Amino acid sequence: MLYQSTNKHDTSKQLAKQERRHTRIRRQQSSESTILALNIYTGDLPLKAHHSLSANQSNNINLASYLGEHRDDPAIKNFIPKLKDHLLS
């Protein structure tokens, strides 16, 4: 099965690489992390498990004053519309 997908040069190395790849895929498919990842896409996770917000507010930034202070920075151009587009899409 795997031999057919080699180029027949240094086949032992190619077969070992393919076998490692297949083993890794089988492990991922049987692990709980794969089930968790699938649940994220199907929407089966509770909202708190999907999003994580820090309870620590000691490093907060006032967005309006920050944008005002960095008005000449090219990265700030159209920042608010881009942020809204990102958050709402």
pLDDT of 5-37, one tens digit each?
A: 777 788 788 878 888 888 888 877 776 555 555
pLDDT at 43: 56
Is 72 inside any structural domain?
Answer: yes
Residue pointed to by tokens 């202070």: 69
**18-44: buried (b, 16+ CB within 10 Å) or exposed (e) per residue?**
eeeeeeeeeeeeeeeeeeeeeeeeeee
Q: Confirm whether 14 is domain-assigned.
A: yes
Domain that holds residue 78: 3-50+63-88
Domains in the chain, number: 1
Separation of alpha carbons 28 and 34, rounded Å:
6
Whether the model clears a pTM of 0.75, i.e. scores above it, the answer is no
> Does 23 fall in a domain?
yes
56 belongs to a structural domain:
no
Q: Mean of the per-residue pLDDT values for the chain? A: 77
